Amino acid sequence: MKNINSKYTFKRADSFQTRMLCCPGCLESLSQQDIENYSRCPYCNYHFKLDKDLEDFILQPVIEHWMRQNQINVRPESF
């Protein structure tokens, strides 16, 4: 889903469980690790500018991992 204020488009690939970023320069699909490791697209050298949607995309695996860990440790009676 694309935010009207964002220049980035995301999609779900059939072979991946997570979202992929479509590079605005070459439309190549990139993972969170690609964006974390490179500030530019490794295919076309497009420079990514950080915005809210891109930040959420990069942090998604960290947040999902944290949520999985805490669901195991949280007991309903503790609320």
25 to 2, 20, 46, 48, 70: CA distances (angstroms): 16, 15, 6, 10, 38
Q: Is residue 4 part of a domain?
A: no
Verdict on whether the full-model pTM lies above 0.75: no
Q: How far apart are CA 45 and CA 25, in angstroms?
A: 8
Q: How far apart are CA 51 and CA 78, in angstroms?
A: 37
Q: Which tokens in the block code for residue 19?
A: 């979202």
Q: Is residue 50 part of a domain?
A: yes
Domain count for the chain, please give it. Answer: 1
Looking at the predicted structure, is the pLDDT value of residue 50 above 80?
yes
Q: Is residue 1 part of a domain?
A: no
Q: Is residue 49 part of a domain?
A: yes
- pLDDT tens digits along 4-36: 455 888 887 665 567 889 999 999 999 888 888
Q: How far apart are CA 54 and CA 7, in angstroms?
A: 9
Give residue 52's domain range: 9-78
Q: Is residue 39 part of a domain?
A: yes
Nearest by Cα to 29 from 47, 9, 7, 49:
9
Q: Is residue 35 part of a domain?
A: yes
